[in-house]
Amino acid sequence: MPWAMIFPPMLGLGPEPRHPSALYEFALEGVVLFVVLWWVSRKPQTQGLISGLFLLLYGTFRFIVEFVRLPDPQLGFIAFDWLTMGQLLTVPMLAAGAFLVTTACRSQRTMVATSDR
């Protein structure tokens, strides 16, 4: 890719071009995550929605970026020749985020239905 970076040799890898995963993390976990959370939080939300959205988006972005990062040298791939420890550790974060968002959306529907009466 034209934006690939050549990093110093390490862990037995030569100076071949690799993905700049730190820049991907900055863009997704920094800029995109901030903009989405700021946009959603402009109006008052039900309790847990912003926190759940943060966990869900951060976990998703982290899971995706892990595909282009080198796995930890002492661990390698954990399963299926593609799952890293970083991806495995984001699974509880994704589950907690999905739970919070679902609970907040159900709570909001209940509040709207109650106020219509």
Whether the CB-CB separation of 90 and 29 falls below 8 Å is answered with no
CA distance 92 to 77: 18
Asked if residue 113 has pLDDT above 70, the reply is no
Q: Which residues are 79's β-sheet partners?
A: 83
Q: Taking 80 as the threshold, does the pLDDT of residue 30 lie above it? A: yes
- The share of the chain scoring above pLDDT 90, in percent, equals 50
Place of tokens 């040799």: 9
Higher pLDDT residue, 80 or 59? Answer: 59
Q: What is the pLDDT of residues 42-56, one digit of tens each?
A: 998 999 999 999 999
- DSSP 8-state class, residue 5: E
Whole-model pTM? 0.80
Q: Which residues of 14-52 are buried (b: 16+ CB within 10 A; e: fewer)?
A: eeeeebbeeebbeebbeeebeeeeeeeeeeeebebbbbb
